[in-house]
Amino acid sequence: MRKIKPADRCYICGNRVGSTGELDHFPLPREVGGTNTEPACRSCHDMKDRYTLHGGKGVNMHEALVAITGLWAKASTDERILLAKMTRLAAVASHREKGGA
């Protein structure tokens, strides 16, 4: 298994990972067979995996969707399909976290 090196940078924010960094399964999570890992700082790893999608200390869904749609104009058809699918999955997960059906 890969180990974090002192010079590693977080694949999300670009800051040095340091001794508290973690290896994050990316682009596929371990739950679906992902084996590739990337170094992530504790803060980004927490935001990605542990915080909610519906506000509070978690990711602001509206701001995230605005950022995603900002990529739309430059995206190919295949990339747009992927962005649409990711947006749908995030919205469904957020709805379920709030207690929706």
The DSSP code sequence of 54-80 is BSTTS-BHHHHHHHHHHHHTT--HHHH
Flag residues of the chain having pLDDT under 70.
1, 51-61, 100-101
Q: Do 99 and 84 form a contact (C-beta atoms < 8 A)?
A: no
Whole-number average pLDDT of the chain: 80
Which is it for strands 37-40 and 22-25: parallel, antiparallel or unpaired? antiparallel
pLDDT digits (tens, 9 = 90+) for 77-100: 888 888 778 877 877 777 777 776
How far is it, in rounded angstroms, from Cα 78 to Cα 10? Answer: 27
Residue 39: asked if its preceding bond is cis (omega within 30°), the reply is no
pTM over cut 0.85: no
Helices (H) and strands (E) in the chain, counts: 3, 2
Q: Do 61 and 53 form a contact (C-beta atoms < 8 A)?
A: yes
